[in-house]
Amino acid sequence: MRTPARHRCKPRPTGRAARGLVLIDVLIAMLVFSMGVLAIISLQAVAIQQSSQAMYRANATMLANALISRMWLTDRQVATLSGTYATGGTGYEAWLTDVTAALPGAADNPPTVTVQSVPGGAGGAPTARVTVLLQWKPVSAAAAEAPNRLTMVTQLR
């Protein structure tokens, strides 16, 4: 009775041929590792950019709330708010210095504040609807890129 023939595998390369395969393996491993490192670096850059954008949005919200808080401290009459805090008023100009200090590009894209009289206050008296529009543009933004915007609308009674 004959024994079945076994499959014979080629023997592993030795000497010079083995060194060449190890070199190729090392080069491929370095390529994969380098791609991973580059991906992590680009991810870090995007994370820093998004963190800066979040900070600017938070600052813009804080500045808009600060102006509206100042408006609440007045008599909240439409004429007073329009004269003092609407774009060009004395309260607006004082607030504008804070905005240009906190938001990049705000000097080139100045904020606007509008005050409108709307019906519906207590006893039928008109109330004031205030719209604050803030715009800023990060230093890293392209010249043709539109500025970032935050619009806050509130009604003062």
Task: Give the helix/strand (H/E) hosting 154.
Answer: strand 148-156
> Looking at beta carbons, which pairs linking 69-77 to residues 24 or more positions away fall under 8 Å?
70/95, 71/128, 71/130, 71/156, 72/156, 76/127, 76/128, 76/156, 76/157, 77/128
Residue owning tokens 């009674």: 157
Predicted local distance difference test score (pLDDT) of residue 76 = 87
From first to last of its 157 residues, what are the pLDDT tens digits of the chain? 565 666 666 766 666 666 678 888 999 999 999 999 999 999 999 999 899 899 999 999 999 999 999 999 998 899 999 999 999 999 999 999 999 999 999 999 999 999 999 987 667 778 899 999 999 998 887 888 999 999 999 998 8
The residue extents of the domains of the chain are 16-156
Phi, psi angles (nearest 5°) of residue 6? -90, 150
Neighbouring C-beta atoms of residue 105, cutoff 10 Å: 16
